[in-house]
Structure 1
Amino acid sequence: MLNKNSPLPMYYQIEENLKQRMDTGEYTPGDMIPSERELSEFYDVSRMTVRQAVTNMVNDGYLYREKGKGTFVAESKIEQPLQGMTSFTEDMKQRGMDASNKLLGFETIPATHEIARKLHLKDNQEVYRIQRIRYADEQPMAIETTFIPKTLIPDLNEELVQGSLYNHIEKRLPIANATQVIEATIADEHQSQLLEVPPLSAVLHIERNSFLQDGTPFEVVKSAYRADRYKFISDIYRS
């Protein structure tokens, strides 16, 4: 099973073999993997070597532990390229997943100084604040709060925001580009409940400022994505 003459460490070979067994369907999401003792006997290595391999896979999001129960195969992460500007609904459709929303709040409020500055508005000018949970195949992926100038889309209502906002906006306004900032944070109690993750779980805080073709900013979006289900990929080039 393992090549003990290989320069690759034993723990790394175990990781790769377990990933291969997950890829072939021997272990599927939610399955409990064998115990450290069973894996050490199977691979004919020490339990310390197995523990290092399993811990690495937990840290990388392939596995998760439940205290007093065991170690289980995690759901695969959704890969989101950083190139291109797409909506959550479009992202999920491209992956063959069913996107849905749960509306937490829809209201018109006076813009704070921060939001007004990013949307090129005057302080206290009216904006929509839309709060939603975004789901993929009925699993919560993100909590999203969107701010849009009311003057840009005066007819926006609760029914429209249940679907893809971008589809509605692009019927009258040409979307061009966005600036996006991603930071790692810890979920607070409220976020943990909504995302159905343990308290203090890692989340990806993403803030997007989006613009129309004429340079007018049309939205600020603040999102908290589950770090155990989402990862971002970027192609980079040496200039």
Structure 2
Amino acid sequence: MKPKFITISDSIIKKIKSGELIPGDKIPSENELIKNYKISNTTARKTLLEIESKGWVRRIKGKGTFVLNRTATHQLVRTLGSIDSTRKGFNESLKAEGLTPKNIILEKTILNEGVSAAIVGRHVIIEGPVLKVHQLRYADDELMKDETRYISLTLCPKIDALSTEISYFKAYEQQYNLKINDIRQTLSADILEANSNKNHFGTTSNIAIFVLDSAVFADDGKVIEIEYSYYRGDKYKFAISAHPEYGHKSDD
């Protein structure tokens, strides 16, 4: 008969293999294992060590134990409509998956005239001044995402002084005390030509990309952020959250 910690670790690994738990997801903590399986703290600790020793997860001190990205191509799964996924931010998500993030800033400037965009059939506007941040996002030195954000400096004064490596979403909530009421996102597919000045991926042939447009709204309906980003089509999969943490005003 298998020891209890092996039986429990096998069941969690099975969830990872099946995709029920995806890279970056947090697995149950020692206390949660003790409560859910009615086991001792020693057995719970052995369970986590067993899963980690097999290379499925990684412990991050003070944060928890997260599922690692074990795909040879570092294909990433990202969830649309998930407040939790958005809150983590690019860097934190990659670190949780055992990947090393790197950012290269192409442009960081203040636009006094503001910006507008069409998101999910709605025309959204951020009045100036607006912070524009255009950066390239890498995982293990491979360019994964070409990201442009426009952030309201009226709602988030002096956010331009913060590092671009932060989770902006957390900054909205924690530093500016903004309540996020809605996130609207559209995802489409396109082809970037190899010689296009918009193609920063360094490919010698045309490349398939996902194009994500999104807007983050405060509880008073004002737009905090607009994002327009390219994701490498061969490096990403997108999932849809059917149970977002906040009630959205439209489908994501």
TM-score w.r.t. the length of structure 1 is 0.59
Q: Deviation per CA, 1:22-41: give whole Å up to 9, x if none.
A: x9xxxxxxxxxxxxxxxxxx
Corresponding residue SS for 2:164: helix
- CA distance in structure 2 between the aligned counterparts of 1:133 and 1:111, rounded to whole angstroms: 22
**Structure 1: how far apart are the matches of 2:170 and 2:242?**
30
Q: Secondary structure at the match of 1:215?
A: coil
Q: Look up the SS of the partner of 1:119 in the other structure.
A: strand
Aligned to 1:183: 188
- Are the aligned partners of 2:114 and 2:126 in contact in 1 as well (CA < 8 Å)? no
1:84 equivalent among 74, 82, 85:
82
Size of the aligned set, in residue pairs, is 161
1:195 paired with 2:201, answer yes
Aligned to 1:228, the other structure's residue is in SS state coil
Match of 2:129 in 1: 126
TM-score by length of 2: 0.56
CA distance in 2, matches of 1:235, 1:148: 25
Q: Which structure 2 segments of 5+ residues have no match?
A: 1-16, 18-70, 244-252
User: What is the aligned partner in structure 2 of residue 100 from structure 1?
Assistant: 102
Matches of residues 134-213 of structure 1 in structure 2 within 5 Å?
A: 134-157=137-160, 159-170=162-173, 171-172=175-176, 173-188=178-193, 189-192=196-199, 194-213=200-219
Q: Write the distance in 2 (CA, Å) between the matches of 1:108 and 1:89.
A: 23
Classify the secondary structure of the residue corresponding to 1:93: helix
Amino acid across the alignment from 2:97: R
Greater C-alpha radius of gyration: 1
Contact 2:126 2:224 in 1 (8 A): no
> CA 1:139 to 1:202, structure 2 compared with 1: closer, same or farther past 3 Å?
same
Report the residue type matching 1:199 in the other structure. Answer: S
Give the structure 2 partner of residue 42 of structure 1.
none
Q: Distance in 2 between matches of 1:147 and 1:229?
A: 25
C-alpha distance after superposition, 1:140-186 (max 9, x if no partner)? 11111111122112212255224322232222223343111011011
Percent identity (aligned): 25
